[in-house]
Chains A and B, each alone.
Chain A
Amino acid sequence: MEAERVLKAAGAIQVVKKRDRKVEAAIRPDRIRTVASKLCSHGARFIIIAAADSGLDIDLIYHFDLDGLVVAVKTRVPKESPEIDSIKDIVPGAEWAEREASDLCGVRFRGGTNEPLVLPKEGALETPPLTRAFRVLPAEVAPVAESIASVGATAPLTSLMERRRQEAGLEAKAPMVYATEKGTKELTELIKQASFTERGGFDPERKKLRGVYK
């Protein structure tokens, strides 16, 4: 009960009691320092940080022990900029765990040491050894998939074709979803609701699939 209250007060998005002695919390990455200090001020002991590459993001799971209860604090940082605040000044023991995550998964800890720990300093690998390809969809589908998700057509209508349509006596635009602002909004909402943003890695702001282009 105590742990759940503390986590909620520190700004956790979701707190789930997994089993008798384990609680899991999901937080935004910018809340990690708040959560860590709140937990520590209640007498929590830091256990470890587990880092795992999920394709588009890097998942970081901070484990704490609060009076025999395991508290797993989950957060994820995007692979475009895998950065998060260091907690080594709150929990000195976290430094090694941070350096390990930085070595193996390429996470940068702001205010942290960021020096190699488990890998040799010399002859560093090109990419961190425990990362995988930064994409979930094959690159070949990107242009069409992006166009479908942003304008609802396999390719946007060109201005030349718009002119040709008018010359031929047709409406300049096809009666498709992009023709009205309301329609475009509906499409954006639908793409989000179908979780194409998460499962396909579509970034609605840039109108691109994440990770496909360097």
Chain B
Amino acid sequence: MNKSNADQRVLLYDPQRCTGCRCCEMACAYQNFGSLTPIKSHIRIIASEDGIHRDAVYCWHCEEPVCAAACPVDAIEKDERTGWVRVNPLKCIGCRSCTYACPVAAAWFDEDRRTAAKCTFCDGDPLCARFCSPQAIRVATRAEASAALKQILGGAASGGGTSP
């Protein structure tokens, strides 16, 4: 990881803090689609069957994004300056390659617009992080997030192009 990558601002989720209130999902859907339906959210909170534990599916804005590599029309691009990986809906042909390629399934297919959709990082001030009372989802540097995720995933995230 070079320095600019290590300094990139990404989202970091801590399941130990999450209360499962889903404010992040509502905030995201509101910001990007003007609706409060959690189905329209780029971040998704999933619950264990017994309802006690929570985890989140969200975009890591990878160093070498597989979604972008899988896209046949180059509709997904990683911004050189900020490092955010975004879908250009005008270029997207709705083939869903990115939704299958992403190892955490962060990119998803929006049935209404017939294009792929994914986290845009809200132009630098993610609403999900702002709305999270226990700060379970927050903005951190990639170096911080990487260390934290490795601890949570027990080394499962090491290696490979999509290391968080």
What is the size, in residues, of chain B's interface with A at 8 Å between Cβ atoms? 4
**6 intermolecular pairs with C-beta atoms under 8 Å apart:** A138-B30, A138-B34, A138-B35, A138-B36, A140-B36, A141-B36
Question: Chain B residues with Cβ under 8 A from A138's Cβ?
Answer: 30, 34-36
CA distance A138 to B33 in the complex (A): 10
The range of chain A's interface size is under 10
Question: Chain A residues with Cβ under 8 A from B36's Cβ?
Answer: 138, 140-141
CB-CB nearest in chain B for A137: B34
Within 8 A of A (CB), among B51-83: none
Question: Chain A residues with Cβ under 8 A from B30's Cβ?
Answer: 138
Q: Which residues of A contact B (CB under 8 A)?
A: 138, 140-141
Question: Chain A residues with Cβ under 8 A from B34's Cβ?
Answer: 138
CA distance A138 to B31 in the complex (A): 11
Could you tell me the distance in whole angstroms from the C-beta of B2 to the nearest C-beta in chain A?
A: 42
Could you tell me the distance in whole angstroms from the C-beta of A37 to the nearest C-beta in chain B?
A: 41
| Interface secondary structure of B, over-half rule | loop
CA distance A138 to B34 in the complex (A): 7
For B15-45 the 0/1 string (1 means CB < 8 A from A) is: 0000000000000001000111000000000
Question: Chain B residues with Cβ under 8 A from A140's Cβ?
Answer: 36
CA distance A140 to B34 in the complex (A): 11
CA distance A138 to B30 in the complex (A): 8
Could you tell me the distance in whole angstroms from the C-beta of B38 to the nearest C-beta in chain A?
A: 12
Could you tell me the distance in whole angstroms from the C-beta of A189 to the nearest C-beta in chain B?
A: 28
Question: Chain B residues with Cβ under 8 A from A141's Cβ?
Answer: 36
Closest 5 CB pairs of A and B: A138-B36, A140-B36, A138-B35, A138-B34, A138-B30
Could you tell me the distance in whole angstroms from the C-beta of A209 to the nearest C-beta in chain B?
A: 14
CA distance A141 to B35 in the complex (A): 10
CA distance A40 to B34 in the complex (A): 43
CB-CB nearest in chain A for B30: A138
CA distance A141 to B37 in the complex (A): 12
CB-CB nearest in chain B for A55: B34
Question: Chain A residues with Cβ under 8 A from B35's Cβ?
Answer: 138
CB-CB nearest in chain B for A141: B36
Within 8 A of A (CB), among B127-141: none
Could you tell me the distance in whole angstroms from the C-beta of A142 to the nearest C-beta in chain B?
A: 11
CA distance A111 to B35 in the complex (A): 39
CA distance A141 to B36 in the complex (A): 9
CA distance A107 to B42 in the complex (A): 37
CA distance A138 to B29 in the complex (A): 11
CB-CB nearest in chain A for B35: A138
CB-CB nearest in chain B for A138: B36
CB-CB nearest in chain A for B29: A138
Could you tell me the distance in whole angstroms from the C-beta of B31 to the nearest C-beta in chain A?
A: 12
Could you tell me the distance in whole angstroms from the C-beta of B110 to the nearest C-beta in chain A?
A: 16
